[in-house]
């Protein structure tokens, strides 16, 4: 088995983390001292986010092990949603509101509209039981939620986000299609403060703790279940979902694109595989693309499993912030760069959508100029062939 050197190198016995306050210099300043700023500490928020995402991951694992046909529904846009998506959202929303009662705003994927329709009572009761069972396992809340409490908790995710104040951003299951297939998915939770992503947690219950490649992502011998977390200015860390050992992770240092491996969506409907393969060809990438679902790709990239992630949706698709916020900070704090296809930084301050030029590309600092050039040329070629 190939274990990532990146992560073995940083194994630590405890959950040691950098100091709570970080000194940082503004990049445009000539004198570091004149512009030293004290960054905020988000330690309480990150602890709450890790706890909520881990418990939601347990709920999802339980459902995935014994998924019933009645657990799955189809939304208006024909994408799937399951009792686990709803349960995860209700649980995370409840736990965060409990921790931060006064200042709570959540932008999340799901809402309770379909659950309030006639005939949905049984599914709502199943979700409520899942949430209450999870709270009992945790033991720190002496409450039993009613079905209405659960519907309300789901609907607390209706905030629009924006550039003012703080907003939690949640994808209760990212990669629901992967979840249904028994493959990769993630519980993705981030915090925006004045429009910037300041922390992110990615719980990836099926991601092997060891290095993944296309060959071993399904290996039954691999221990699975990773929790990635990052706070602005503090680096990115990974833990096994069920333990406290922590490793600091770093993106791949590969400089030669021929040695890079490339991640993309499993679903061809979510990203243009033909365009990625043209880009890979231009770069001289030798390995076949690694196709995995969800923001688990960002997690895997943050620990150097691959060097490039290309997400090039078909025309007309608008990206939502919950599909990228947590993954974005997990990768950038591990030394990576995330931009749109034209090289612009991502702007999370404009509400629930990310307004982008064409797609999202992720790699390390060294490879980014080459990647941007290959993306630009490939897009031009594709446009001229139409
Ligand atoms: N047409 C289209 N184009 C692009 N993206 C789409 C599209 N439809 C859905 N989605 C979003 O993709 C999210 C799943 O992420 P990935 O594409 O990384 O996973 S996958 O490999 O395709 O399963 C998925 O997230 P979840 O809904 O949370 O599963 C969707 O938000
Ligand atoms: Mg969805
Ligand atoms: Mg998603
Ligand atoms: Mg989702």
pLDDT of res. 212 = 82
Q: Whose CA is nearest to atom 31 of ligand 1?
A: 323
CA 191 to centroid of chain Cα atoms: 12
Judge whether 97 and 91 are in contact, CB under 8 Å.
no
Concerning whether 85 is annotated as a catalytic residue, the answer is yes
43-249 is a CATH 3.30.540.10 domain: yes
What single-letter DSSP state applies at residue 329? H
171 is in an annotated binding site: yes
Confidence class of residue 219 from pLDDT cuts 50, 70 and 90? Answer: low
Reported as a single tens digit per residue, the pLDDT across 114-123 is 999 999 999 9
251: Cα within 13 Å, side-chain hemisphere: 31
As a whole number, mean pLDDT of residues 316-338 equals 98
pLDDT of res. 215 = 53
Concerning whether 358 is annotated as a catalytic residue, the answer is no
Long-range contacts of 35-44 (CB under 8 A, 24+ apart): 39/232, 39/233, 40/193, 40/198, 42/191, 42/193, 42/198, 42/199, 42/231, 42/232, 43/231, 44/99
CA angle 299, 236, 138 (to 5 degrees): 80
Q: Where are the domains of the chain?
A: 43-249, 257-385
Q: Whose CA is nearest to atom 22 of ligand 1?
A: 267
Q: Is the pLDDT of residue 242 over 80?
A: yes
pLDDT of res. 68 = 79
Reported as a single tens digit per residue, the pLDDT across 278-305 is 999 999 999 999 999 999 999 999 999 9
pLDDT of res. 386 = 77
| Nearest listed ligand to the Cα of residue 270 | 1
Beta bridge mates, 170 = 108, 189
pLDDT of res. 8 = 35
CA 139 to centroid of chain Cα atoms: 27
Reported as a single tens digit per residue, the pLDDT across 71-101 is 899 998 889 999 999 999 999 999 999 999 9
Q: Is the pLDDT of residue 168 over 60?
A: yes
Q: What percent of the chain has pLDDT over 90?
A: 80
As a whole number, mean pLDDT of residues 134-145 equals 95
Confidence class of residue 235 from pLDDT cuts 50, 70 and 90? Answer: very high
Q: For residues 98 and 121, give the distance between their C-alpha atoms in angstroms, rounded to a whole number.
A: 26
Ligand 3 centroid, distance to 293 Cα (angstroms) = 10
Closest ligand 1 atom, CA of 320? 31
Q: Is the pLDDT of residue 14 over 50?
A: no
Reported as a single tens digit per residue, the pLDDT across 16-53 is 444 444 433 333 333 343 334 456 789 999 999 999 99
Look at the domain 257-385 and name its fold. Answer: D-Maltodextrin-Binding Protein; domain 2 (3.40.190)
What residues are neighbours of ligand 2 (ion), with CB under 5 Å?
79, 176
Backbone phi, psi, residue 223, to 5°: -70, 135
- Retrieve residue 232's tokens: 């602005």
């Amino acid at each position: 088995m190939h274990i990532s050197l990146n992560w073995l190198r940083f194994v630590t016995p405890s959950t040691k983390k950098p100091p709570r306050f970080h000194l940082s210099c503004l990049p445009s300043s000539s004198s570091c001292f004149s512009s030293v700023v004290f960054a905020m500490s988000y330690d309480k928020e990150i602890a709450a986010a890790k706890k909520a995402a881990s418990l939601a991951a347990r709920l999802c694992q339980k459902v995935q092990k014994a998924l019933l046909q009645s657990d799955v529904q189809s939304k208006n846009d024909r994408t799937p949603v399951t009792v686990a998506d709803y349960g995860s959202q209700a649980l995370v929303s409840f736990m965060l509101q409990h921790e931060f009662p006064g200042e709570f705003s959540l932008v999340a994927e799901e809402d309770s509209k379909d659950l309030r329709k006639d005939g949905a009572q049984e599914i709502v009761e199943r979700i409520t039981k899942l949430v209450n069972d999870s709270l009992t396992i945790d033991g720190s809340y002496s409450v039993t939620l009613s079905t209405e409490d659960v519907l309300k908790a789901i609907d607390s995710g209706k905030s629009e986000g924006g550039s003012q104040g703080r907003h939690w951003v949640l994808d209760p299951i990212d990669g629901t299609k992967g979840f249904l297939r028994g493959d990769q998915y993630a519980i993705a939770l981030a915090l925006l403060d004045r429009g910037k992503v300041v922390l992110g947690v990615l719980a990836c219950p099926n991601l092997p703790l060891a290095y993944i490649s296309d060959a071993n992502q399904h290996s039954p011998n691999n221990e699975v279940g990773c929790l990635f977390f990052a706070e602005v200015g503090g680096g990115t860390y990974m833990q096994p979902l069920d333990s406290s050992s922590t490793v600091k992770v770093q993106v791949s240092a590969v400089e030669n694109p021929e040695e890079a491996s490339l991640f993309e969506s499993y679903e061809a409907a979510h990203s243009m595989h033909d365009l990625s393969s043209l880009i890979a060809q231009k770069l001289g990438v030798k390995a076949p693309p690694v196709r995995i679902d969800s923001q688990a790709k960002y997690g895997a990239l943050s620990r150097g499993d691959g060097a490039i992630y290309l997400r090039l949706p078909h025309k007309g698709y608008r990206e939502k912030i919950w599909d990228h916020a947590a993954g974005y900070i997990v990768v950038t704090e591990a030394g990576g760069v995330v931009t749109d296809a034209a090289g612009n930084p991502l702007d999370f301050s404009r509400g629930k959508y990310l307004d982008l030029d064409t797609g999202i590309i992720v790699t390390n600092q060294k490879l980014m100029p080459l990647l941007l050039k290959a993306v630009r040329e490939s897009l031009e070629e594709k446009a001229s062939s139409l």
